[in-house]
Amino acid sequence: MMYAAGLAGVGVTMLLVLIRVLLGPTVYDRILGINLFGTKTVLVIALLAFLNGRTDYLDLALTYALINFIGTVAVLKFMQYGDLGWAGDVEDDSDV
């Protein structure tokens, strides 16, 4: 019963985060909201793994957390630099 209340609480916070994503005044607020939604999704997967007694769900939760982190860093890098690649000067060693 207590875990169902935990899932309900996480569900309410996920709805509040979705409101922040939709109404966020800046793009960075929306990115933070999407990242937080992904973190709450990992928490839901972990709670469901505990309730069902399936530890293999934890591997999925960890993989989702890593993808969420890498995606957030990529989006923030794109927002700052306008490109995902390194735009530095490339040295040419052909005259050596």
Q: What does the DSSP assignment read for 19-59?
A: HHHHH-SSHHHHHHHHHHHHHHHHHHHHHHHHHHT-THHHH
Number of H helices, E strands in the chain: 3, 0
Single out the residue of 62, 57, 18, 65 nearest to residue 37, CA to CA.
18
Q: Which two tokens stand for residue 46?
A: 């972990």
pLDDT in tens, 51-61: 888 988 999 99
Q: Which two tokens stand for residue 33?
A: 């909201």
Q: Which residue is listed with tokens 């309410």?
A: 12
Going from N- to C-terminal start, the domains of the chain cover 25-83
Q: Which two tokens stand for residue 3?
A: 């875990």
Q: What would the mean pLDDT of 4-24 be, rounded to a whole number?
A: 91
- Position with higher pLDDT, 84 vs 42: 42
